[in-house]
Amino acid sequence: MDLEAVADEFLNLKQSSEEIKQQKFIEIDNEFNIAKLHKNQPNHEAGKHIIKTLNSNGMLDYLTYSKLFNNPEEANKVLETNIFAYNPIKNIITFNSRAIECYIRENAGIFI
C-alpha cells in the first residue's frame, strides 16, 4: 500500500489515522505470519537476527541473510512476503517500508 492509497482511503472513508495504522499493521502482521516470523514459528530466530541487524546497520548482505535459513528456498519465500526488500545491484537486504519498521518498533518485545 502506498502513500497515495492511504491518503485516498483516509479521505474517502473518513478513517482516523489510528484506524488506518491499525489496518496496515493487521496486513503487516499477516505477512509476518505467512513468512513464519512470529514466536514459535520456524523462521522466528532468523527473523530476529535480520531485524536486529537492519535496526543497527540499515542493511544486511544477502549471503549472510540466506545463511540464516535452513535452505535458500525458505529465504526466498520470506522475501516474497515483502517484509524485507532485496537490492540485486548492491546484493543487500533492507526493510521494505517505513510501515514495517514502525510495526517492528511497536512489537519490539517479539522481534528484538
pLDDT digits (tens, 9 = 90+) for 26-43: 999 999 999 999 999 999
Residue 53 included in any domain: yes
Average of pLDDT values for 4-16?
Answer: 65
d(CA 52, CA 58): 9
C-alpha cell at 46: 532468523
Number of domains the chain contains? 1
Give which of 61, 53, 52 is closest to 108, Cα–Cα: 52
CATH of the domain at 108: 1.10.10.10
In a domain, 94, yes or no: yes
User: Considering the domain boundaries, does residue 112 fall inside one?
Assistant: yes
Which domain covers residue 56, as residue numbers?
Answer: 45-112
pLDDT of res. 8: 65
For the segment 65-105, what is each residue's pLDDT rounded down to a tens digit? 999 998 999 999 999 999 999 999 999 999 999 999 999 99
* pLDDT given at position 15: 66
Inside any domain, residue 8:
no
